[in-house]
């Protein structure tokens, strides 16, 4: 193993963890879909009129008059699941305080913020490959390289340059292996990274130029802003629809993380489905 590689790993692995930094919780969270039992209502008189089964649809606004303000958005209904295995808010996922713009456009987005120096991301990658191949047509998966500064930025530049030159599919999994198993990198500099991509078929000088280009600088800043806005502080982190953040934990592991993502995707799908008209 090259001598300087441990220093590079220390810098890169600073963003790599099983879960985000913990914050004190006021109480142990309950399962998402569980609701407290309703307090029995006082019995109505026998001759009382039955309650309406559904609220009356609001009348259309009169032309020339301002429309009434929209009712506040309610949380998306959770899909039907075995409550014993339902993802738990505050443990398996968190709801972002403010919904954020997605990284890309179209469908229900699942964005994985990852780092090539993160062993947890490397271990998750084979599961991601199988999982994303079976995604429904309305779900869009995207990688977001963690732009956390230093070595992480250099590898993110390599990712975007590989994407621009058509080498990403060939090199994505291989780079995890080169960094964490084969220990091909001594410092993680942009020159060293360009050298490695040259072994994968890239023109070294052209690739290095792309890594330092205006287009890649813009993508790097966009990735950094996305991670900051969504509160990412460890990798791998999944951001679903710009509303939810999910990480693996020791209890459910990587497979449990993907099950949580599927559950949140189903929740978003249910929220977007047309609601039956009130009778």
Q: Determine if residue 262 is left, alpha or beta; phi over 0 gives left, psi from -120 to 50 gives alpha, anything else beta.
A: alpha
pLDDT digits (tens, 9 = 90+) for 74-96: 444 445 555 567 899 999 999 99
pLDDT digits (tens, 9 = 90+) for 105-155: 999 999 999 999 999 999 999 999 999 999 999 999 999 999 999 999 999
* Alpha carbons 227 and 215: distance in angstroms, whole number: 19
What rounded mean pLDDT belongs to the chain?
A: 80
User: Binning pLDDT at 50, 70 and 90, where does residue 23 land?
Assistant: very low
Q: What's the whole-model pTM score?
A: 0.73
pLDDT digits (tens, 9 = 90+) for 195-206: 999 999 999 999
Please spell the DSSP secondary structure of 61-91, one letter per residue.
PPTTSPPPPPPPPPPPPPPP--GGG---BTT
Instruction: Specify the DSSP class assigned to residue 235.
Output: B
Task: For tokens 């090199």, name the residue.
Answer: 171
The two structure tokens encoding residue 209: 């130029």
Mean per-residue pLDDT for 221-245? 97
Statement: residue 191 has pLDDT above 70:
yes
Q: Determine if residue 126 is left, alpha or beta; phi over 0 gives left, psi from -120 to 50 gives alpha, anything else beta.
A: alpha
Q: Which has more confidence, 173 or 54?
A: 173
* Alpha carbons 91 and 88: distance in angstroms, whole number: 5
- What is the side-by-side order of every strand in the sheet holding 237-240? 93-95, 244-246, 237-240, 108-114, 139-145
Residue 44, pLDDT score: 42
For a pLDDT cut of 90, what percent of the chain falls above it?
65
As its CATH architecture, domain 11-17+84-272 has 3-Layer(aba) Sandwich (3.40)
């Amino acid at each position: 193993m090259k001598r300087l590689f441990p220093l590079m790993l220390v810098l890169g692995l600073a963003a790599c963890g099983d879960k985000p930094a913990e914050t004190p919780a006021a109480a142990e969270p309950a399962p998402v879909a569980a609701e407290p039992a309703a307090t029995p209502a006082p019995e109505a008189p026998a001759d009382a009129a039955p309650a309406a089964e559904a609220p009356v649809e609001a009348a259309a606004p009169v032309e020339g008059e301002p429309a009434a303000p929209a009712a506040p958005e309610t949380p998306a209904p959770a899909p039907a699941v075995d409550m014993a295995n339902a993802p738990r808010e505050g443990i398996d996922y968190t709801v972002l305080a403010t919904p954020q713009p997605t990284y890309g456009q179209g469908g229900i987005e699942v964005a994985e913020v990852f780092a090539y120096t993160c062993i947890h991301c490397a271990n998750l990658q084979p599961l991601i490959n199988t999982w994303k191949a079976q995604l429904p047509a309305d779900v869009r998966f995207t990688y977001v390289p963690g732009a956390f500064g230093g070595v992480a930025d250099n590898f993110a530049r390599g990712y975007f340059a590989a994407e621009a030159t058509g080498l990403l599919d060939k090199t994505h999994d291989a780079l995890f292996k080169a960094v964490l198993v084969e220990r091909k990198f001594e410092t993680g500099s942009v020159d060293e990274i360009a050298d490695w991509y040259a072994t994968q078929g890239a023109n070294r000088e052209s690739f290095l130029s792309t890594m330092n280009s205006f287009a890649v600088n813009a993508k790097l800043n966009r990735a950094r802003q996305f991670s900051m806005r969504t509160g990412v502080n460890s990798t791998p982190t999944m951001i679903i629809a710009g509303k939810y953040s999910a990480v693996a934990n020791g209890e459910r592991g990587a497979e449990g993380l993907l099950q949580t993502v599927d559950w949140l995707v189903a929740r978003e799908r249910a929220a977007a489905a047309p609601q039956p008209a009130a009778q």
